[in-house]
Structure 1
């Protein structure tokens, strides 16, 4: 499996799991502070893990190419969490 295929599989799965986690937290009627904390953890851990794995390789070219993708993944995760929270609030 190439790195491109891995990211093409990982990023949509990451975004779906964020949306699922937000909706599940609202469905369980968790307090807003708990939902916010879990959303931060869901959004933050995978990109940080990817960045750490990239830095562990020590390959400067690989880090330069794929760290931008990991940071974009983080931004997309924040957007997905905000949009899901907004939409879930309107639908319930």
Structure 2
């Protein structure tokens, strides 16, 4: 019995036009005093105005009772830190 090739065992990275990632995981830097820790986010779209880039991000923040609230917001690229994610790298890990 012959096993599968590596190509058949792995998921392709999602790519859009010109090979750019369709979505991208990021850390969203939040303003605040004292410094507030960044939260995980997902970039859904990009736009450029003059020489500045903005990203449409989806992320969660805690409400006054500590429950997560989903936020979708255009953010400046300077407020984001990219995170490399590969759907094949975490196959051995479990969520819980």
TM-score bin (small chain): under 0.3
Larger strand proportion of the pair: 2
Q: Which has the higher contact order (CA 8 A, sep 6+)?
A: 1
Please report the TM-score for the alignment, with normalisation by the length of structure 1: 0.25
Point out the structure with max Rg over C-alpha: 2
Larger helix proportion of the pair: 1
